Amino acid sequence: MKIIVTHNFLIAIVVVMMMTSCKTMYRTNKVNAPVFKKKGELQAELVTGSSGIEVQGAYSLTENFALMIDGVYDNSMMRNIDTASGTKDGNSEYNNVFIEGAIGYYKTFGRDTSKMIALYVGGGIGETKGYSDIWQPDFLKYNSKYTRLFWQPTYGVFVKRNVEIATALRFSFMNYHSLSVKDDLGTTYTTTSYDFFMDPVISIKGGYEQFKFLVQLGASLPLKKQDYYSSSPLILSFGFHLNFTRYWEKEDDYFDD
């Protein structure tokens, strides 16, 4: 089966992401991997990609502790084309709304503090809805309300004035505490489920001190067998990074190139 996906901000990339299954119930969001140098940094990102539209923020409370917050909105339409029979289904839809927060410990090191390590723990809540004719006979549509807990080590590999490169590995526990599915006869079934995921990513930011372009590439790997649905294996996001730190106050202390 060949799957073509249309999205307001995404074209070819999501096509690759969706080719694994028609019953996609979960698309993980971009891994928030801020790189801090000191206390009082306020960072924000606006991105789009494999999980829809995202707003992410982070703030360094002290020299070693920081907060993160993320919000996701994804509304995608899918057209499924069966190349063997030529049949088409233009009535598939995926919708997801999610918000989460986290607290973490970070520490800079290396020559000119050009590297950073961090560890975050956090959680969030979300709701996903899906519909498609071709999911029958398993089900016609679903509504999933879930919570997610995660643990995330992060490594700032290269941190300079105009370029930042970081890697992260997020371990997530998904609890679908209200999962309802509806078949083509109108019968609704309610159940619960859970998942474990491992999300390795690399993030690259380049530009100016307070404004950078960013791209993140990674994978979302389920650690539990998914019987009647699937998750998207790709993490790919593009967007903008803003750092509101007042560099001009102590610019020499912040960077030392």
Give pLDDT, residue 56: 98
Q: Which amino acid is at 171?
A: F
Give pLDDT, residue 120: 98
Residue-level pLDDT, tens digit, the chain, 257 residues: 232 333 333 323 333 333 334 467 889 999 999 999 889 999 999 999 999 999 999 999 999 999 999 999 998 876 655 555 555 555 678 899 999 999 999 999 987 778 999 999 999 999 999 887 666 666 678 899 999 999 999 999 998 889 999 999 999 999 999 888 887 777 888 888 899 999 999 999 999 988 999 999 999 999 988 777 788 899 999 999 999 875 544 544 544 44
- For residue 36 the two structure tokens come to 């801090």
Q: Computed over its alpha carbons, how large is the radius of gyration of the chain?
A: 20
Q: How far apart are CA 235 and CA 221, in angstroms?
A: 10
Domains and CATH numbers, the chain: 23-74+96-254 (2.40.160.20)
Contacts of 250 (CB under 8 A, 6+ apart): none
Residue 74 to residues 41, 50, 96: CA-CA distances in angstroms?
Answer: 28, 9, 5
Residue 210 to residues 57, 116, 243: CA-CA distances in angstroms?
Answer: 14, 19, 5
Model-level pTM?
A: 0.82
Give pLDDT, residue 226: 78
What does 9-46 look like in DSSP terms, one character per residue?
A: S-SHHHHHHHTT-S-EEE-PPPP------STT-EEEEE
Give pLDDT, residue 231: 87
The three-state secondary structure class of 134 is helix
